[in-house]
Amino acid sequence: MINVLFVCLGNICRSPMAEAVFKHLVEEEGLGDQFHIDSVGTAGYHVGEPAHRGTRRVLADHGINSTSISRQINRRDLETADYIIAMDSSNLSDLQYASRGLATNDRLALLLDFAPGVSRQDVPDPYYSGNFEETYQLVDAGSRGLLAHIRKEQGL
């Protein structure tokens, strides 16, 4: 199993969106049984909550369901994930700090590093911007690029 973990701050807006979009793409490509896909937050503000209403609505608009319940990252996540995908550079630096002492550097990346033709680094946070569709478009581009990258790297 290839273990992919999406990470944002609260685990209610961006990373549950990426989890749902990436799961949908993996299913579409018939690879569902080869992946374990999850999302977490660096903070615990919303633990136990489903994805934000705006995230669930934009996903539904694109024919995608979300079953994510917010949880905070733990040491085991950092030890076991093959790909730890941060939504923004602040999440990335929090992850680098949280994983000190673990060999995570080559498993950590920003989602938009995989989005072809996208020059920005950070997925904008719709918790503040209110623009869930803009976030969806960037998450979709990053997720498609990430899946292509993993398929190539894993020979799938």
User: Residues with catalytic annotation?
Assistant: 8, 14, 125
Min dist. Cβ of residue 28 to ligand 4NP (A)? 24
Q: Which is nearer to ligand 4NP, 13 or 150 (CB)?
A: 13
Binding mask 37-56 for ligand 4NP (x = CB under 6 A): --------xx----------
The two three-digit tokens of residue 98, written as one number? 């949280």
Angle between helices 53-61 and 14-28 (to 10 degrees): 30
Min dist. Cβ of residue 156 to ligand 4NP (A)? 28
| Residue of 10, 54, 142, 145 interacting with ligand 4NP (CB under 6 A) | 10
Residues forming the site for ligand 4NP (CB under 6 A): 8-14, 45-46, 125, 127
